Amino acid sequence: MTSPTRTQPVRVLTIVVVVAALAAVVLGALQPVDRPVDRPLSPLDGVCVAAVLAAIAQLAGLRFRLGPDAVSVSWAEAAVVVGFVVAPAGWLPAATLAGTGLAWLLLAWLTGLRNTAEVVHLVASMTLGVAGAALITSLLAGDAPVNSARLHLALVAGAVTYLLITFGLVVLTLALHRDVAPGQIATRVLYAKLPMSVGNVLVGLCAVFALAREPLWLLAFGPALWLLHRTYRFHLRAAEERRMWEAFAVATARLPGTSEADVARAGLRGALDVFGARRAELEVRTDNGHRRYAQDGPGHQDEPGTRSGPAVTRSMAVSGRPVGELTVWLGEPSLPVPQDDAAITAYGEALAGALHDVAAHQRIVELDARAAHDRVHDPLTGLINRLSFGPVGDPVLRAVDRGRHVAVLLLDVVDFRQVNSTLGHRGGDEVLRLVAGRLTDLARPGEVVARTGDDEFALLVPEIAALTDSAGWPHGESSPLPATLRRARELVETLRLPMEVAGVRLAVEVTVGVAVAGAGQIEVSELLRRASLAVGRAKELGITVGTYDSGQDASSTDQLALLAELQDAFVADDQIVLHLQPAVDLVTAAPTGVEALVRWRHPRRGQLSPGDFLPAVERSELLIPFTRRVLDLALAAAANWNASGIDVPVSVNVSARSLTDPTFPAQVTEALRRHRTPASRLVLEITESVAVSEQDIVDEVLARLRSSGVQVSLDDFGTGFSSLASVTRMPVDEIKIDRSFVDEMIDSAAAGAVVRGAVELGARLGVRVVAEGIETVEQRAALIALGCPSAQGYHFCKPMPADKIVQALSQLAAAAPSNVTQLRADGAS
């Protein structure tokens, strides 16, 4: 039995065994040499033969693995039986010491075994076992002859004594050496040694019988011993392979883990258990570098200079991709056998698969963690994003005393698009990172900084030091607004400090929207919405810091719902309506035309003027159905007064988008067809800004309209930069002088000159001139003096519903029927 332990208990046991063995040798040698006369050899020859037999028994022995140790199974029992017959009993310990000592010195030289303590312990154990066997046999046999049954029974008892002593020392040594239950060790050792020990005793008894009867029979022992040796070897190897594959199954089942370190530890522990290794090392190779793990077998303090046994290294790979290397230090120089190579290769593949799986699992975990982080953080600046601003900030607000005030400051980088276009997106990203860094540095403990948009950042201020200022706050409460505004201006001043990006020194301006509310009364999302309104208001006013005004909410919400409510208005019959205002002859006040002014009877907001909803309509896809509705209402009203004998046209304002739509003339023609109205009774009013935009398309659309007989009026004449160019480039049937000139013509010579020039221009071009916004007698008289033929305004009639226009027109026409000067309907210019 070999045991390469370095632990103190085993060293003590070795010393005790060696001392006992030497004592047995000395005491045996001192015993008188009294032998029966029927012994076949002389005492000296018998001692020599016994020593030779002891050496042969060890050289022909077998060694099997027991964990990291190896247990020897030899022919010692047979040598003991034969040696007792051929040599004096007292000299058997000395003969065993000499024979086994020489045998193990030879084995150590042949196999490279370098552990002297192991050899000494082994030789001493067998010597002590032989001493015990000789003592028991001598006591039981006495002077019994060789062929007597008493001697044979004594020899069996001596062999059993040898087995018990050596077996006990093996179990004790391994129990001290390894953290394994003695019962488990005893079972395995007994399983390996008992069959061969029984065979050894039988072989020894047969040899004794042959020596006594016919020594030539010993020649037949060679083949028989060879067969027994092969049988024992097969028995031990089969048992070891069965144990190894059972341990293999257990070890591979333990390999899956949640981390590389867990798998590596399980893999090393499994390698020690499966291969009975003294040490196992694992090198793991990943994209992040190499990591090395190692573990010694139980009871081993492994050092490079004291390792025994070969090292087997196997490279590990999965699908051709290297995973690492597994190195196993086996327990004995005579190993590994081919089965070890196959098992280590298979185990390495299983371990490689487990390492690959845990690496894949780790990557998935990292990706999940990164995705979770990216869901709530801005990847560019590392700040929390808009999605997580509320979940992060709401608990902060709930922790604030209800008597305190909280605020959100929303910062919008001014003209950031210009930064991107000048420095490129990489430079723009660097600017955003610098702004985020400065905001983070400016944030106080407890405050939360977030990036809420492309060029927007938000700062949650959970506690504001309020100042005594009752303005705007009920019941004379202290106002947190001044402190918040001061904080906002501090941010503006710090953020506008120069920074250098891509070699360019620049300064960033921000617009800040401030929203303040009482703690416990509001959520972060609502504060952020209010701050966004404040930013928009600040931009409209051209200021740096804007505050939230609750009056903005209604208009903002209304604008958001406007288009949806317009679609509902189209379905209803009484929401989109026209108010009609006559144009009259300035001298006689007879009607010369009617302008249709659209209104929206909003079910919630009341009556809305065109400025409240037309901009949204012009930007949407509702323009075509809206224009169709207005044309239908205007032409239906015109049909009513025409049926009453009043032959004046109706004027409808036209959107800029309509005149850039090539299908618009067809829409107008279809409306005239539906209402069976001559084209000359429809006047389309356009503004100068429409006339100068996309001239080619507008000119084509207007030409098609005029060719169909529809009249064109140039509205708001004189307010643009191209009034003269418009009337000379584009033929019109009427020009309408903007009310701003009419309002000022009495007091302003310049305004009067503009009105006079428009009247003269109309006369020279042969088109009708209408002055808008007449409200006083003085304005009417001045226009008559300038020769202006027609006018429109509150002085004559206010805009009225369609059901009242016929009566109003009839009254105007009755007052001066012979003086009516209508717009030309012949299409001449």
Q: Give the per-residue SS3 of 631-645.
A: HHHHHHHHHHHHHCC
For the ranges 18-27, 165-174, 418-427, 722-731, which has the lowest average pLDDT?
A: 722-731
For the ranges 206-210, 534-538, 555-559, 626-630, which has the lowest average pLDDT?
A: 555-559
Residue 471 has pLDDT above 70, yes or no: no
Collapsed DSSP state (helix, strand, coil) of residue 696:
helix
CA atoms of 437 and 37, how far apart (whole Å) = 108
For the ranges 13-22, 139-148, 334-343, 383-392, which has the lowest average pLDDT?
A: 334-343
Phi first, then psi: what are they for 14, rounded to 5°? Answer: -60, -45
Collapsed DSSP state (helix, strand, coil) of residue 320:
coil
- In the chain, % helix, strand, coil (3-state, to 5) comes to 55, 15, 25
Number of other CB atoms surrounding residue 387 within 10 Å: 14
Number of other CB atoms surrounding residue 533 within 10 Å: 22
pLDDT of residue 475: 42
With a CB cutoff of 8 Å and minimum separation 6, the contacts of 507 are 496, 497, 498, 499
Q: What is the CA radius of gyration of the chain?
A: 57
357 pLDDT band (50/70/90 cuts)? confident
CA atoms of 478 and 488, how far apart (whole Å) = 19
Nearest residue to 632 (alpha-carbon basis) of 582, 608, 667: 667
- Is residue 54 within 8 A of residue 79, CB to CB? The reply is yes
pLDDT of residue 606: 84
Distances (CA, A) of 406 to 401, 471, 548, 557: 10, 18, 13, 24
- Is residue 98 within 8 A of residue 268, CB to CB? The reply is no
Number of other CB atoms surrounding residue 373 within 10 Å: 11
Longest CA pairwise span in the chain (Å): 178
pLDDT of residue 827: 39
With a CB cutoff of 8 Å and minimum separation 6, the contacts of 368 are none
Residue 648 has pLDDT above 80, yes or no: yes
> Residue written as tokens 């016994």?
50
Residue 579 has pLDDT above 90, yes or no: yes
Q: Could you tell me the two tokens for 230? A: 């092969």
What is the layout of strands, in order, in the sheet containing 448-453? 384-385, 448-453, 456-461, 405-413, 510-518, 545-547
Distances (CA, A) of 427 to 90, 421, 453: 100, 9, 17
CA atoms of 664 and 658, how far apart (whole Å) = 6
- Average pLDDT for 697-701: 84
Residue 820 has pLDDT above 70, yes or no: no
Residue 275 has pLDDT above 80, yes or no: no
pLDDT of residue 7: 61
Mean pLDDT, the chain, integer: 81
179 phi-psi bin (left φ>0, alpha ψ -120 to 50, beta other)? beta
Predicted TM-score (pTM) of the model is 0.49
Distances (CA, A) of 644 to 792, 806, 807, 810: 22, 8, 9, 8
307 burial via Cβ count (<10 Å: 0-12, 13-18, 19+): middle
Residue 159 has pLDDT above 80, yes or no: yes
Three-class HEC string of 89-131: HHHHHHHHHHHHHHHHHHHHHHHCCCCHHHHHHHHHHHHHHHH
- Is residue 64 within 8 A of residue 240, CB to CB? The reply is yes
Residue 309 has pLDDT above 60, yes or no: no
Nearest residue to 454 (alpha-carbon basis) of 381, 528, 530: 381
- Is residue 481 within 8 A of residue 469, CB to CB? The reply is yes
